[in-house]
């Protein structure tokens, strides 16, 4: 019996496709990551929920957020901490990203609860123990 002549090896289309698809996929993911951190997801809208005596501008100034910042790169914990430290009548601030371009700030106002005497003066404290004011006399109803 005669052996059939061996033809050229057929190319494995699947392996060729994988060789091309992997670099293209990695490049696309890299480009999307770079665009997400630079051009995409800019803060255009700020939504403030909860009662507060402070204006939107005062809250944003305390938060140190300016228009057009990147939503992904914004440090939410630092912004919340800044709001709570700088605006004494805000007990708690929680920030949430609302993609593609909104930032939501949930405000819990501080409630005057207790007047405590300290070094001959009175401190007006919130429910969470935050010093709200240092008046010269106790505040009625606390």
Confidence at residue 132, expressed as pLDDT on a 0 to 100 scale: 87
The string of pLDDT tens digits covering residues 85-140 is 999 999 999 999 999 999 999 999 999 888 888 787 888 889 988 888 887 666 66
Confidence at residue 118, expressed as pLDDT on a 0 to 100 scale: 78
Residue 77: HSE in the Cβ half-sphere, 13 Å Cα cutoff = 0
Of 32 and 10, which is predicted with more confidence? 32
Q: What is the pTM of this model?
A: 0.72
Confidence at residue 58, expressed as pLDDT on a 0 to 100 scale: 94
Strands 102-109 vs 45-49: parallel, antiparallel or unpaired: parallel
Q: What does the alpha-carbon distance between residue 110 and residue 106 come to, in Å, rounded to a whole number?
A: 13
Q: Mapped to the 3 state alphabet, what secondary structure does 32-56 carry?
A: HHHHHHHCCCECCEEEEECCCCCCH
The string of pLDDT tens digits covering residues 19-77 is 888 888 998 898 888 887 778 899 999 999 998 889 989 999 999 887 788 998 999 99
pLDDT at 81 over 70: yes
Of 4 and 66, which is predicted with more confidence? 66
pLDDT at 1 over 90: no
């Amino acid at each position: 019996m005669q052996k059939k002549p061996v033809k050229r090896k057929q190319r494995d289309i699947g392996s060729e496709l994988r060789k091309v698809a992997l670099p293209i996929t990695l490049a696309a993911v890299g480009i999307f990551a770079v665009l997400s951190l630079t051009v995409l997801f800019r803060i255009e809208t700020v939504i403030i929920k909860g009662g507060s005596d402070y204006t939107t501008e005062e809250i944003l100034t305390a938060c140190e957020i300016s228009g057009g910042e990147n939503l992904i790169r914004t440090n939410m914990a630092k912004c919340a901490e800044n709001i709570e430290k700088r605006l004494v009548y805000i007990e708690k601030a929680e920030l949430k990203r609302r993609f593609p371009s909104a930032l939501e700030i949930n405000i819990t106002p501080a409630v005057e609860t207790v007047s405590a005497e300290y070094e001959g003066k009175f401190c007006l404290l919130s429910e969470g123990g935050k010093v709200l004011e240092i008046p010269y006399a106790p505040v009625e109803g606390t």
